[in-house]
Amino acid sequence: MTTSSCTVQGLTNGFSGNCSSASTSAGTCTSTLLEPGWHGMRPHRYHTPGERRSRRPASLPASSTRISLSAAGRRSRCTTRRPSLAPKPPPRTTDTTTSRGQPTSRGELMGFREILEFVKIEHMLFSLPFVLIGALIAVDAEPSDLAVLDIMWILIAAVGARGLAMTLNRIIDKDVDAANPRTADRHLPSGAMSLRTAWALAVVFLAMLLVGAWQLNTVALQMAWLPVLAFVIYPYLKRGTWLCHFWLGGCLALAPAGAWLGIVGDDLGWAAITGFHWYPRVLLISMGVIFWIAAYDLNYSLMDVDSDRAAGIHSFPVRFGVEKTGPTSIKLTIAWLFCFAMADPTGGIFFFISVILMALININVIDQRDSLPDFQTTFFRTSVLTGWVLLAGMVI
């Protein structure tokens, strides 16, 4: 039997339709009301002879109504579909706006937590105990002789120096980090932080370093250029020589020396440096820090051997092989053991015992590298613990 499918749209002043016929077993008539004030219309229907016309309701809801008619003209069930009148939400973007409504690109607004993650504030635990050791050496290991304000400005300068070193390293190594799968999700390569924000942080950390040194004494302020220069050189040095591990140790070795100068420079002035007052205790402590950090950094670089080789980074494992990293780290650990023990900043037995104890623990962890489930985390915690145990041995 030939039936028809007709679509009728209710408009503001009438209707329009589009009908087609086909040889099917049933027909469909769809009426769509578009205006909210349109109450309904009588759709065209096909009737068989003798069939009684059925009257539509007086009004229809302002919705889309689908009416299916069978070949016999009987009315089938209706389904009502209300169109969504809510506006579509705007597409999500990665841009944010400032409090004044000015647009700012992704990565320019950073929270305090993101900044701490960016500078790896947990690595401050490496240098902080030796900052305090350097300050204690300046007062002959008498904590009561340290002024609270001096400690405060020393810590501000130390945090500024550490933050500046990490920020400069992240900025200079941005492309290297992007090519390394392990570091590709860091803030700058991933775009979580903009380069402009990173430079702004570098300025803030530099200001902390300079203000802290200025509040301590003139000599400390005039020597503040030395750590800044060391921080800038390090990222470029590792592109040329494996001695970069020792240079990194030298950067952290400036921590106890700088804290010591921040105390004695107020009384001795430039004579603190030219008169060799830093020999032997400050020198031996700083040399011990160089070997200690180098031993850690050699093992840390094991995670990036393939990436460093591809990027032209001259780490020790890339230059001499992974198998030589462990034995060399043990030799460096023995070297810092002798340096710290010979420094003997207190003349007591507890500092000497703490040095021996932590050296043995470090050697054992390095020797068990292949059997530990998470060597890097274990060695990091052991290395951090070393400085704090030495500080405790000095205070006791």
Per-residue pLDDT band at 115 (split at 50, 70, 90): confident
| Average pLDDT of the chain, as a whole number | 81
3 — phi, psi (to 5°)? -120, 180
Per-residue pLDDT band at 161 (split at 50, 70, 90): very high
Taking only Cα atoms into account, the Rg of the chain, rounded to an integer number of angstroms, comes to 38
Most confident range, picked from 26-35, 52-61, 108-117, 302-311? 302-311
Burial (CB count within 10 angstroms: exposed 0-12, middle 13-18, buried 19+), residue 215: middle
Percent pLDDT > 70 in the chain is 72
Interatomic CA distance for residues 333 and 123, integer angstroms:
19
Per-residue pLDDT band at 82 (split at 50, 70, 90): low
Which residues, in sequence order, are CB contacts of 379 under 8 Å at separation 6+? 296, 299, 300, 362, 365, 366, 369
Interatomic CA distance for residues 34 and 340, integer angstroms:
87
- Predicted confidence at residue 27, as pLDDT, reads 44
Q: What are the domain boundaries of the chain?
A: 3-81, 112-395
- Predicted confidence at residue 85, as pLDDT, reads 52
Whether pTM exceeds 0.95: no
- Predicted confidence at residue 209, as pLDDT, reads 98
- Predicted confidence at residue 108, as pLDDT, reads 57
- Predicted confidence at residue 46, as pLDDT, reads 44
Q: Using one digit for the tens of pLDDT, what is the confidence trace for 209-221?
A: 999 999 999 999 9
Give the mean model confidence (pLDDT) for residues 34-57: 46
- Predicted confidence at residue 119, as pLDDT, reads 84
Per-residue pLDDT band at 17 (split at 50, 70, 90): very low
Residue with tokens 């009315």: 75
Which residues, in sequence order, are CB contacts of 188 under 8 Å at separation 6+? 170, 171, 174, 177, 195, 198
Which residues, in sequence order, are CB contacts of 139 under 8 Å at separation 6+? 145, 146, 263
* H/E element, 64: strand 64-70
For residues 200, 201, 202 and 208, what is the CA-based torsion angle, rounded to 10 degrees? Answer: 120
- Predicted confidence at residue 112, as pLDDT, reads 79
- Predicted confidence at residue 139, as pLDDT, reads 92
Q: Using one digit for the tens of pLDDT, what is the confidence trace for 262-277?
A: 999 999 999 999 999 9
Residue with tokens 């389904």: 79
Give the mean model confidence (pLDDT) for residues 115-120: 85
Per-residue pLDDT band at 311 (split at 50, 70, 90): very high
Contact 249, 294 (CB under 8 A): yes
- CATH class of the region 112-395: mainly alpha
